[in-house]
Amino acid sequence: MSVAERTGPQPLLRVRGMSKRYGRRIGCADVDFDLYPGEVIGVVGESGSGKTTLLNCLSAQLEPSAGSLVYDTRERGPVAVFDLSEAERRRLLRTDWGLVRQNPREGLRMSVSAGANVGERLMAVGARNYGQIRGTAEHWLAQLEIAADRIDDRPGTFSGGMQQRLQIARNLVTRPRLVFMDEPTGGLDVSVQARLLDLLRRLVGDLDLACVLVTHDLGVVRLLAHRLLVMQQGHVVEQGLTDQVLDDPQHPYTQMLVSSILPV
Amino acid sequence: MNTKAAGYNYAYLDEQTKRMIRRAILKAVAIPGYQVPFGSREMPMPYGWGTGGVQVTAALIGPLDVLKVIDQGADDTTNAVSIRKFFAAVAEVATTTATERATIVQTRHRIPETPLREGQILVLQVPIPEPLRWLEPREAETRKMHALEEYGAMHVSLYEDLARHGRIAKTYDYPVLVEGRYLMRPSPIPKFDNPKLDRSPALMLFGAGRERRIYALPPHTRVESLAFEDHPFEVETWEARCRLCGAEDSYLDEVIVDDAGGRMFVCSDTDYCNRRQAAQGKPNPEMLGGKA
């Protein structure tokens, strides 16, 4: 979706001066950006550049040392996320937000079936009709191209790519408006990665999802992200439209990053 | 004081400890279904034998009380007999097997068939008090889940049962919601007994000795067994009736009677069964071998 097609002037997420310090060391510092509904923003940088710290702060997993995070809620309009009570924050994370982790084992319940994994968020918000929960689970498994007859299998019997798709299904079941993804394609082989990316691109478009996508893989952001933040040692050194940043990098670090891609 | 108990305070525990436990009980009664931590003491019996229940009973009991102790519904099993003797020795109380005569009933794994009445106290022994333990191993996290009423995950386990077995396969320690607020483990009673928890006229106290928790259902508390709208809560039923007393409405145990696969079903509540037999003019049930 291009800038001109944005549905409204109101950003979904407004980040200002977001910083996280671990004692004297910096996790991330002075990060500013707006995320609009339906927009995918990519955060790239090498290991240790503060990508995951930033994601944890944005998704309210970690309290930042400074800065503000304002989210445009469905019911109450823009609210400062860290002024919400813990109960409200946890509820937000279970309903209007999604969090896809790099390792699907961390984001899934490995001891219960795929159907129960997808249905968990529904039950958490009060769904109490088994038939309906199962029907919704079937729908989302189909959306993520998981065969219907795997609904009663445990995630441990799934391949890595399927586990990742199951984790995404589990997050999308409450129809969130904002999804945080931490290296969603990490650890998958390239053909599986390609399929997952195709699927993600379709879902993001169909569902009008806003996405914060953290990755070190520039190919992934090239395909999915509308805009990019390039991070180095906790600071955002460059940001802009994805094609612009990747094709005409201005900052020396970005230039180095872009030129490090192995040509096939 | 009885010579057997010489050197011990009344009801074994010292008065300070009893006051501490009573405070925990009062708090538990004030917040139905909430697990109140308490300073559980070493008791002269191993964990798993009812140390939580014994401490609750010891904190409550007085010389005018009449105590009944049951284990799996029976008054004559080792655990029941030893706890009954213990309190007869250290608290000099009258004991009984008749449910309606008792003022305090300490129990493990059953609620008596004879309906409890106002003024009676049922003390249940609890091995694991935390209903969310299966889903969440961290204590700090389960407390947070209770505080924020995040109980959706409990339904995940019921969903899993339905998906795997076509029915909710949990038959004992079936989770309940107390007054629409706290999720509670009713201790390992069969789900057959869950309806007896709902709006019971008797006070019910739950003691977990090893886990150091006390929780309570005050009289007439609303207790709802978890279920799905399209798969409602159901209790066990039997094809058979009790071989000894013919009861159709009680919880039955299956007893193997020979090496050739012979079996019979008998009431698990021995007091209920014995008195039904007596009313039918049957000979002393002990002569029939009673219950295994």
Burial class for B140, CB neighbours closer than 10 Å (0-12, 13-18, 19+): exposed
Counted across chains A and B, CB pairs separated by less than 8 A come out at 53
The domain segmentation of chain A, as residue ranges, is 108-175
pLDDT at A59: 94
Query: Cβ A123–B155 below 8 Å, yes or no?
Result: yes
* pLDDT above 70: percentage of residues in chain A: 96
Q: At residue A43, what are phi and psi to the nearest 5 degrees?
A: -115, 115
A40 to chain B, closest Cα gap in Å: 30
Condensed to tens digits (0 to 9), the pLDDT of residues A51-91 reads 999 999 999 999 999 999 999 998 889 999 999 999 999 99
Nearest to B152 among A87, A113, A125 (CB): A125
User: Residue B189 in 3-state DSSP?
Assistant: coil
For the question of residue B267 being annotated catalytic, the response is yes
CB atoms inside a 10 Å sphere around CB A1: 16
3-state secondary structure of B60: helix
- Active-site residue, B166 included: no
Which of A240, A241, A168 shows the shortest CA–CA distance to A207?
A: A168
Q: Look up B33 and say whether it is catalytic.
A: yes
Closest CB to A152: pick one of B163, B229, B231: B163
∠ CA A14-A21-A251, rounded to 5°:
65
Conformation bin of residue B147: beta by default, left when phi > 0, alpha when psi is -120 to 50 = alpha
Contacts of B152 in chain A (CB under 8 A): 120-121, 123-126
pLDDT average, residue stretch B42-66:
95
Catalytic one of B39, B273, B281, B289: B273
Q: Which helix (H) or strand (E) holds A214?
A: strand A210-214
- Tens of pLDDT, residue by residue over A171-222, are 999 999 999 999 998 878 888 888 888 888 898 889 989 999 999 889 889 9
Catalytic residue among B52, B245, B246, B262: B245
Query: Which of residues 60 through 89 in chain A touch B, CB cutoff 8 A?
Result: 86-87
What does the DSSP 8-state code read for residue A227?
E
Residue with tokens 């012979």: B262
Q: Which residue do the tokens 């994370």 mark?
A: A93
| ipTM of the complex, rounded to two decimals | 0.85
Residue A257 CB-half CA count within 13 A? 27
Nearest to B84 by CA among B65, B67, B60: B67
Q: Do A130 and B159 touch (CB under 8 A)?
A: yes
What phi, psi does A132 have (nearest 5°)? -70, -40
The residue to which tokens 């037999």 are assigned: B277
- Asked if A119 reaches chain B (Cβ–Cβ under 8 Å), the answer is yes
Chain B hits for A121, CB-CB cut-off 8 Å, are 152
Catalytic annotation, pick one of B166, B207, B267, B290:
B267
A 216-255 residues with CB < 8 A to B = none
Q: What is the pTM of this model?
A: 0.86
Give pLDDT tens digits for B150-183.
998 899 999 999 999 999 999 999 999 999 999 9
In this structure, how many other beta carbons lie within 10 angstroms of the beta carbon of residue B229? 11
CA–CA dist A37, A50 (Å, integer) = 24
**At which residue do the structure tokens 């409550």 appear?**
B60
| Total Cβ atoms within 10 A of residue A86 | 11
What are the φ/ψ torsions at residue A47 (nearest 5 degrees)? -55, 135
